Amino acid sequence: MKLKFLFSFCLAATLSASAQQGYLDGIEYFKADQFDNAKEILERNLNNPSTDKALAYYYLGEIALHDKDYTTAKADFDKGLAADPQSALNKVGQGALALIQGDEKGAKTLFDEAKKINKKDAAVLTAIGRAYFNADPVKYAKEIEEYDKQAYKANSKEPSIFVLRGDREAANKEWGDAAANYENAILYSKGLPEAYVKYANAYFNVNPEYAINKLQELLQASPNSALGQRELAEKYYQNDQWAKAASAYGDYIKNPNHFKSDEVRYSALLYYGKHYDESLQLAEKILGQNPTDMQKFQLMRIIFLDKKDLKDYPGAETAAEKFLALNLPGLKYSSNDYSSYAEVLQELGKDSLAVPALEKALELNPDKTDIYKALSSAYSGAKNYDKALEVY
């Protein structure tokens, strides 16, 4: 089985409140450029008493800007200012919206109002620079440089300055310079999650172990960061360190700010680690929680395979038949799905039924010699010796 195929459908809910950062996890996801994840967590925590609504609405507005949903962006920035009329960042958000809509003069006025609220605030100045960067890094190169200088003069150790510098270098594929700037952000912040994550992403394809070590450092500094927990698990997974990925996912899904898709992946990793009972229990639990079609497809595959490897062949046969009858749009079965089903049928002495399953497996992967051997065996078990010899 191609493990990447098994785990490719991504991954929920609840548990240990001690690990919760609330809406702050959403901000971390936003700053790491994971906008959909950020939106889900910000909205999930919006009405919590501990949530700074002005700040939450600013980031929701920025996500809407990224999605080109300008009506929602305006509404979110307005809500942010209603929650706190002195929110400089929501003024920056309004200015960013004006800039994207071509109103440069109006944008400048709003940026100036933001600067008056928080005078010489390096983070606000950097946010204005980022607004120009997001609008058009080439057209507004002069403005970006000017705000970089102003922010650095206001506070030369403001981490967001170096994150934006790193992003500018990364946009030009200058990975070494980008990583150096992220390193500075880490140094001055003593644990800025997005800097660690962006640093790890810049280095992962060159030196995956070095990137993983950086994420381990992040969790030492910020052990409750859902972003850090998830990124470490993902990097183990991407580097084919399955056992470590399963362990890291096990820690991560105890965080209240995890996603259902992550539970699905954890169930698959438990299967790969031969923890079949745990994998089966988790997969059946999630299946009863109204998963998406994609998640349902993956969960039913895991349940079938778990039962097969637990040698519950009657249960595996029933699970396989349900799984192979799904026929959901856009989701495709693998050669392994059919060959595994055939294996179950042969264990039950149903060789004649295993034959069409193996023929389907060969149709999907004609170069896999093990399937020919299994098909020959199935023909033999069905007493079709001529066909068995031909296939062999």
What is the per-residue pLDDT for 96?
Answer: 97
In tens, the pLDDT along 7-47 reads: 433 333 333 333 457 899 999 999 999 999 999 999 999 99
What's the chain look like in SS3?
CCHHHHHCCCCCCCCCHHHCCCHHHHHHHHHCCCHHHHHHHHHHHCCCCCCCHHHHHHHHHHHHHHCCCHHHHHHHHHHHHHHCCCCHHHHHHHHHHHHHCCCHHHHHHHHHHHHHHCCCCHHHHHHHHHHHHHHCCCCCHHHHHHHHHHHHHHCCCCHHHHHHHHHHHHHCCCHHHHHHHHHHHHHHHCCCHHHHHHHHHHHHCCCHHHHHHHHHHHHHHCCCCHHHHHHHHHHHHHCCCHHHHHHHHHHHCCCCCCCHHHHHHHHHHHHHCCCHHHHHHHHHHHHCCCCCHHHHHHHHHHHHHHHHHCCCHHHHHHHHHHHHCCCCCCCCCCHHHHHHHHHHHHHCCCHHHHHHHHHHHHHHCCCCHHHHHHHHHHHHHCCCHHHHHHHC
User: Measured between alpha carbons, how far is 143 from 166 in angstroms, rounded to an integer?
Assistant: 17
Whole-number percent of the chain with pLDDT over 70: 91
Confidence of residue 387 (pLDDT cuts 50, 70, 90): low
What is the per-residue pLDDT for 18?
Answer: 33
Mean per-residue pLDDT for 116-121? 90
User: Measured between alpha carbons, how far is 94 from 86 in angstroms, rounded to an integer?
Assistant: 13
Whole-number percent of the chain with pLDDT over 90: 65
Segment among 314-323, 367-376, 382-391 with least mean pLDDT: 382-391
Confidence of residue 272 (pLDDT cuts 50, 70, 90): confident
In tens, the pLDDT along 318-354 reads: 999 999 999 888 889 998 999 999 899 989 999 888 8
What is the per-residue pLDDT for 386?
Answer: 65
Q: Which long-range contacts (CB under 8 A, 24 or more apart) does 146-150 make?
A: 150/125
Average pLDDT, the chain: 88
Confidence of residue 362 (pLDDT cuts 50, 70, 90): confident
Dihedral over alpha carbons 322, 327, 328, 329 (to 10 degrees): 170
Mean per-residue pLDDT for 352-366? 82
For the stretch 191-207, what's the b/e string if a residue is b when 16 or more beta carbons lie within 10 angstroms of its beta carbon?
bbbbbbbbbbbbbbeee
What is the per-residue pLDDT for 7?
Answer: 41
User: Measured between alpha carbons, how far is 328 from 342 in angstroms, rounded to an integer?
Assistant: 21
Mean per-residue pLDDT for 60-66? 97
User: Measured between alpha carbons, how far is 361 from 338 in angstroms, rounded to an integer?
Assistant: 5
Statement: residue 360 has pLDDT above 90: no
What is the per-residue pLDDT for 3?
Answer: 41
Mean per-residue pLDDT for 298-324? 96
What is the per-residue pLDDT for 73?
Answer: 97
Statement: residue 388 has pLDDT above 80: no
User: Measured between alpha carbons, how far is 84 from 73 in angstroms, rounded to an integer?
Assistant: 17
In tens, the pLDDT along 164-209 reads: 999 999 999 898 899 899 999 999 987 789 999 999 988 888 899 9
Q: Is 106 exposed, middle or buried (0-12, 13-18, 19+ CB in 10 A)?
A: middle
Confidence of residue 378 (pLDDT cuts 50, 70, 90): low
Statement: residue 5 has pLDDT above 70: no
Q: Is 254 exposed, middle or buried (0-12, 13-18, 19+ CB in 10 A)?
A: middle
Mean per-residue pLDDT for 239-257? 89
